[in-house]
Amino acid sequence: MGIALPTVDVRSIMTDISQCVCARIGPVRDDLVSELRDLDLDFAPVLGESEPRAHVLGLVSRSRLAELATAAQPLEQPEVPADRAQLGATVGLDILLERMAESPAWLVVAADDAITHGPAVPVQGLVCRADLNKHPVRVAVYGLLAELELMAARLVQETFRDPADWFGRLSEDSQARILGYWELAKRLGVDTGPVAGATLSELLRAIGGSQELLRGLGYPSRTRFEDASGRIPDVRNRVMHPVRPLITNVESCTRLREILLAAAALSARMREFCATRDPVWRGSAELG
């Protein structure tokens, strides 16, 4: 089963090349390193001595520029040539996270993939690891997790004829909140059942507690299911709180990629299982 993550338009999170602080082949400007430091930038695109900004030779780190400036030596070539630092303008989120785990900065080129296109391809901008915390990436992550949550809710709703069979296994605090939300919804004339008041974590706990659902989803045990799903709710919580960073280092890129792939795989398993019971389910995960 092939698992694909949402596509991200990298141009929505990059710094346009016209706005980048760039280095040029030749003597290192006296104020270049301090300008990069003040802006908290670790890399700069490298231009030729007189080439336009769209013709980028590669990337150079701030630390390398500092070494050259201290030694009064010129920049003779980029640290990373352009053909080894290119990222397509639209890529899958899994590819984006994978590339950002490999290197903290990439040159964005006008292409819809992450294939190396050669140094002659015009560069549109620079994207760095910290840019993964911007809103467009959070939207892509949230969309994936929202689909999982909708399918989990419908799966629980249609599996347990008596709602108490699943929410009765939760903590008393969870039960009180879910029942209170359900009662309020009924009084307002909007009764979608108790699943509407459950969190993703609670829905996954309900699924993990059902041998029928574990078998249907292809998990041999509750432990295996929890191994696959246990880290997903934390990512959802981080996405919903913009002040919490999603990405801070290499490990966070790798971890987020693994969790999102696991979430996409779980969504696919849910859809396939439900389609065996109701073919209409294959095309819709909406509650109702």
Residue 191's pLDDT is 77
**Average pLDDT for 45-71:** 89
**Average pLDDT for 245-273:** 94
Residue 163's pLDDT is 86
* Cβ 246 vs Cβ 254: under 8 Å: no
**Average pLDDT for 141-160:** 92
The region of weakest confidence among 14-28, 39-53, 216-230, 267-281 is 267-281
Categorize the per-residue pLDDT at 279 as very low, low, confident or very high, splitting at 50, 70 and 90: low
pTM: predicted TM-score of the whole model, two decimal places = 0.87
Residue 274's pLDDT is 82
Residue 143's pLDDT is 94
**Average pLDDT for 20-34:** 94
**Average pLDDT for 73-81:** 95
Categorize the per-residue pLDDT at 7 as very low, low, confident or very high, splitting at 50, 70 and 90: very high
Categorize the per-residue pLDDT at 277 as very low, low, confident or very high, splitting at 50, 70 and 90: confident
In the block, residue with structure tokens 């819809």: 112
pLDDT tens string 207-253: 999 999 999 999 999 999 999 999 999 999 889 887 889 999 999 99
